[in-house]
Amino acid sequence: GHLLFSLLGHQDVVRDLSFAPNGSPILVSASRDKTLRVWDLSRDGRQVQVLSGHVQWVYCCSISPDCSMLCSAAGEKSALLWSMRSYTLIRRLEGHQSSVVSCDFSPDSALLVTASYDACVIMWDPYTGEQLRTLRHVPLHSTLDSSSEIHTSSLRSVCFSPEGLYLATVADDRLLRIWALEFRSPVAFAPMTNGLCCIYFPHGGFIATGTRDGHVQFWTAPRVLSSLKHLCRKALRTFLTTYQVLALPIPRKLKEFLTYRTF
């Protein structure tokens, strides 16, 4: 409970934080001052870099599991992808029709998902910038509350499951959705109101959600035994980029599978 560092530099509200997943003491902060800042906690919280490029508040930041990339989402129609090695902008990911507010990498760093107020999740290949799939949130006209109008489906949060086969999303239409990568429609729903964020339990099986009214809720999620095929893909993609896979002397269909062009 002792204060270790006060990291000073941001000029406005800090909205999100992301530690480097490889255990190194690097922290990235995202702020309403339209910047991201990189801090080295092994050097008394020294500020390593200021990343400028957004023109709106930065809502979300996510470091890839291999610690090579950083994605940031602000109140803009594009997400920004940064190099964690040179701290330079790699590319803008353009495809959404409204503000991008959440992003997350798959456990093997081979996929990146972004969620937007346009009610869509876009799945990207972060190495090439290619859009691989779009998941559209269609309102459910169900018995959840038949007496009132269905809310808009503006998305608030998206996250990958630990094994990388499922996604969870929270939207303003009062639903938590769980998606399987191989399908274009959700495999499970849960009714919730005022949802703002979601995250999987690191060992799977549960999802935690946070709401505007101060509640944290826990939900059961599908438990899955990964196929040997997916485990091999995940192991290979942990250290091979898309370009390295495409350069391998293997059949085209195998390359498509390893680069998630087929699920």
Task: Report the distance separating Cα 45 and Cα 59, nearest Å.
Answer: 22
In this prediction the pTM is 0.91
- So what's the pLDDT on residue 146? 38
- So what's the pLDDT on residue 154? 87
Task: Report the distance separating Cα 239 and Cα 260, nearest Å.
Answer: 15
For the chain of 263 residues, list the mean pLDDT of each consecutive stretch of 10.
88 94 92 96 92 94 96 94 96 94 96 95 96 87 42 82 94 91 88 90 92 92 89 95 96 96 83
- So what's the pLDDT on residue 170? 93
Nearest CA to 165 out of 102, 106, 229 is that of 106
Contact assessment for residue 81 and residue 71, using Cβ atoms and an 8 Å cutoff: yes
- So what's the pLDDT on residue 253? 95
Task: Report the distance separating Cα 146 and Cα 157, nearest Å.
Answer: 25
- So what's the pLDDT on residue 51? 96
- How many Cα atoms sit within 13 Å of 200 on the Cβ side? 26
- So what's the pLDDT on residue 184? 80
